[in-house]
Amino acid sequence: MNTGSTTRRAVLRTASVAATAAIAGCLGTLREDDPENYTTPAAAEFDDVVDSSWLEDNLESVKLLDVRDESEFTEGHVAGAHRLPDTELMRNHYEETDDGYEASPEVIAEIAADAGIEPDDDVVVYGEGSNLWETYAIYTLRAIGHDGTVALLDGGYTVWEAADGAIETGTPDAESARYEPELDTNVVATRARVAERVHEDGADVQLVDNRTPEEYRGEDDDDRVTRHGHITGAINVDFPQNLVDDGARLRSPEELERLWLEDAGLDPGEETISYCTTAVRGSVGWFVMEQLGWEECRNYEGSWLDWGLLTEDDGYYYSSCADSGTVVDTFAD
């Protein structure tokens, strides 16, 4: 587990005593009436997951990033939050080229600076629940070298609003902060890194495909690519299996251990690369594996939108048939 994160959270708990008096009272009703949402098993166990109970006590000690749509954000957001735009996340900070991986982490760093975030700050990311864009935002900040804790608010804005938590409307003014990014290759898997570990008969690294089983088997065509299937050697863990209540929050640690360690049979001591189509769904698997104590886990930025345009003649192997690979369906609908 990440002992650095644990230490930072312990410090925040201590620092929150004075802050609690200023914001106490807002969420007491939900704490008593709906404890399963207000305090969650994942937040109790994982270093980089917090719940509304924790956020109430630490609201003035963290920076907040909201990944919802702009209209939803302006109608109401957690007091003090800034918005992290998904279009910037998706399109403008990396590219796989003929000359290799090219990153522009300053794109995300500029957004962080406008939100008043500096590299050492502790940050809480939230959306409607605990779904795709939340984990992708966490992954992205980690990929540009953020040193402070970047945590997920389990349950998201929905729980906070239902509890009458402190809310603001409108769009906050940009703040002034200094953010010098430094790409963290311990978080990002490039095309070259994947290709070096994949061969015609399998892979020398644990690969997890977080798409649907139909995409994994090549049955669900995507006209953006020329090949359909999965990277040779990958197993399939469709990302919604990590979540409950339609993505509202994470499964319990015990259920996630069953999914990833027992049924998927993955070894947290071995390097693992997560991917999907555009690295967004892959970030869910990456985040969960990090919380489960993985020593070396990366998210393939290019994912299938990159790999699916390559050729086996150049060594980019893939598999595509009904009986190829392994589909892990522990919590499949």
Indicate which CATH number applies to the domain containing 278.
3.40.250.10
pLDDT of residue 15: 36
pLDDT of residue 31: 56
**Percent helix, strand and coil across the chain, each rounded to 5?**
40, 20, 40
Per the domain annotation, does 204 fall within a domain? yes
Other beta carbons within 10 angstroms of residue 322's beta carbon come to 8
| 150 and 19 inside one domain | yes
Q: What length does the chain have?
A: 333
Dihedral of the alpha carbons of 270, 301, 45, 47, in degrees to the nearest 10: 100
- Give the residue from 140, 168, 196 where a domain finishes: 168
pLDDT of residue 64: 98
Dihedral of the alpha carbons of 239, 146, 79, 243, in degrees to the nearest 10: 10
- Give the residue from 134, 168, 202 where a domain finishes: 168
Q: Which amino acid is at 73?
A: F
| 121 and 8 inside one domain | yes
DSSP conformation letters of 223-258: TT-S--SEETTEEE--GGGGEETTTTEEPPHHHHHI
| 156 and 208 inside one domain | no
Other beta carbons within 10 angstroms of residue 235's beta carbon come to 18
Per the domain annotation, does 332 fall within a domain? no
Per the domain annotation, does 80 fall within a domain? yes
Contact, 174 vs 280, CB < 8 A? no
pLDDT of residue 36: 60
The 3-state DSSP class for residue 121 equals coil
- Give the residue from 104, 136, 168 where a domain finishes: 168
Q: Over its length of 333 residues, how does the chain's per-residue pLDDT go in tens digits?
A: 343 334 434 433 333 333 333 333 345 455 566 656 688 999 999 999 999 999 999 999 999 999 999 999 999 999 999 999 988 887 788 989 988 999 999 999 999 999 999 999 999 999 999 989 999 999 999 999 999 999 999 999 999 998 889 999 999 999 989 999 999 999 999 999 999 999 999 999 999 999 999 999 999 889 999 999 999 999 999 999 999 999 999 999 999 999 999 999 999 999 999 999 999 999 999 999 999 999 999 999 999 999 999 999 999 999 998 788 999 999 998
Q: Which amino acid is at 3?
A: T
Angle between helices 132-143 and 106-114 (to 10 degrees): 110
| 162 and 13 inside one domain | yes
Q: How far apart are CA 304 and CA 208, in angstroms?
A: 12
| 53 and 135 inside one domain | yes
| 132 and 210 inside one domain | no
| 125 and 76 inside one domain | yes
Q: Could you read off the pLDDT of 88-107 as tens digits, one per residue?
A: 887 788 989 988 999 999 99
pLDDT of residue 35: 59
pLDDT of residue 98: 87
Q: Could you read off the pLDDT of 110-142 as tens digits, one per residue?
A: 999 999 999 999 999 999 999 899 999 999 999
Query: What does the block give as tokens for 232?
Result: 């040779």
Q: How far apart are CA 3 and CA 123, in angstroms?
A: 17
DSSP conformation letters of 146-203: --S-EEEETTHHHHHHHTT--EE-S-PPP----------TTTEE-HHHHHHHEETTEE
pTM of the model: 0.90
Per the domain annotation, does 56 fall within a domain? yes
Q: How far apart are CA 188 and CA 281, in angstroms?
A: 14
Q: Determine the structural domain holding residue 272 and report its residue range.
A: 188-327
Per the domain annotation, does 333 fall within a domain? no
Report how many domains make up the chain. Answer: 2
